[in-house]
Chains A and B, each alone.
Chain A
Amino acid sequence: MSDRYLWDRGGEPDLEVVRLERLLSRYRFEGERRPVAGREDASSWRWLAACAAVIIFVSLAVAAALALRLRWEPERAWDVLTSSGSVAIDGQPIDSRAVLPPGGILETGTDSRATVRVARIGEITIGESSIVSLQYTGARRHRVSLEHGSLSARIWAPPFAFGVQTPAGLASDLGCEFTLQFVDGSGRIDVTSGWVDFDGRTRSSLIPAGATAELRQDNPGTPHYRDAGPAFINALRDYDESGDRESMRQVLATARHRDAMTLLHILERAPLELRPEIFYRTAQLASPPEGVTLDGVLQRHRRDGAVDLWRRSIGLGGYKRWWINWRDALPRSSREESG
């Protein structure tokens, strides 16, 4: 018998094939349902459910870990983790199980240093010839005072949870790593991760990672990036001391695109008559976002908002997102390994 009919229904019908066709036609696909994009197959649902379960579990674990990290009984002493050389607390040389109580004063001698755990949110390392006191520690706020010497801090906690009082003002951690030095009436702050808010008696600075600021009695200098040119740094120092138009023009003339961060600080503080010049130079280096105008920065009640908007437009608005610096929660060696 020819297979022609089986092949293309041509030629003489094969009765057996015709019979089977009729018999099996009841199973023919007649579905009018169209594939719907939102419909997922069972395996996809299982996969999504598994992902959701993992996300929920990780979120709960992170929330629990964060809650534990931030919890601290008021007035509980801080652990001294390591020390070398001559280190004393309240005048007494310390041993391996030393703690720094609230109100306690830690002093280091020459070639000496000590590392102290800041509640559960990080640690500080006190450099040689330094005097640091623990002013307050509690559930949400911790303060130390650097009277003299140097202190490095690595903190991972919500903004303003940790602060260091210095003769130049209060350095508040915004989730970061920074180093403070203050000796004989002057010093500097270097931020290596996140942000520090530095409040002096009459001026404040928002200092990002990679930037530094000189410190003087009562106030911080204007922050600048550490890789700024010497001419810019010298001009900035002159302007911080004199506040005159000539040194300001030197600052503007030697600024790079990246130095817009510094110019925005100057714009906030400068006398009204100097602001137009600063505004236009800053706008040359980093275009202001829509809505930020000279009129806006000249009006006191609009100035802060305008400058903040401008700062964010050049990528410097992350100071409220402290959690992105999660690496500061890792032990120092892990962070260095991870880059």
Chain B
Amino acid sequence: MIGGVAHLSSIDERNDAENDGALVTAARGGSESAFELLYVRYRRMVHAIALARVPPADAEDVVQDVFVLAMRKLGSLRDGAAFGGWLAAIAKRQASGWRRNVREQSELTDSPVASTQESDEEARHVLATIRTLPVAYRETLLMRLVEGMTGPEIAAQTGLTPDSVRVNLHRGMRLLREALEKNQ
């Protein structure tokens, strides 16, 4: 059992299951710091899963809802070491059920950073293309290309094997190149 914030601060951001188990135990006991660390550790993964399903403008709201839901349901998670896979499942459900609204119609029209019109257009086009790929490739590519996560990080957080992640990245990238070339 983790005793407090001081101890939590000694837990680094390595994605090992043992650390997750300790953080989950502490979070269940009411430690906001522990949940904060879980949030910092997994927010990029959850965002990528959301981005694979909802417009960019809504993805951050999905992230919020996923963590709020996870906070409430943490007591039902039997194995704290399985937090990543459990959270990913929640994220997929939340993002899949996300309300369709007017933003869906023009889903890629808003860009979060100022940049040239051409690059905006190209970014929207690439993201839209990724979202046409099979869902396993789509999520893994978004974690890698958008969130900047490495293959080992993706494997550790999602609960997928490193081999599966490697295959998803390789095949996903190949499909993406083909699709982009076809659309040029």
| Partner-B contacts on A (CB < 8 A) | 3, 6-9, 16-17, 20-21, 23-31, 33-37, 39-43
Contacts and interface: CB of A to CB of B under 8 A. Distances in A.
A31 B63 contact: yes
Nearest to A23: B123
Nearest to B172: A6
Chain B residues touching A, majority SS: helix
Given A7-B166, A17-B145, A21-B145, A27 B99 contact: no
B170 interface: yes
A25 B119 CA distance: 11
A26 B150 contact: no
Contacts of A8: 150-152
Contacts, number: 94
B68 A41 contact: yes
Given A29-B43, A35-B39, A6 B177 contact: no
A29 B173 contact: no
Candidate in A29, A30, A31, A34 with the most chain B CB atoms within 10 angstroms:
A29
B148 A21 contact: yes
A41 to B, nearest CB: 4
B111 A7 contact: no
A26 B115 contact: yes
A65 B123 CA distance: 63
B64 A27 contact: no
B20 to A, nearest CB: 17
16 contacts: A3-B169, A7-B150, A17-B173, A24-B126, A27-B56, A29-B43, A29-B59, A31-B47, A33-B60, A35-B35, A35-B64, A37-B68, A37-B71, A39-B64, A41-B69, A43-B97
B41 to A, nearest CB: 13
A20 B122 CA distance: 10
B146 A25 contact: yes
Contact of A26 (B71, B72, B123): B123
A23 B122 contact: yes
B138 interface: no
B47 A29 contact: yes
B147 interface: yes
Candidate in A9, A16, A28 with the most chain B CB atoms within 10 angstroms:
A28
Contacts of A41: 65, 68-69, 94
B44 interface: yes
Nearest to A39: B68
A39 B64 CA distance: 9
A27 B122 CA distance: 13
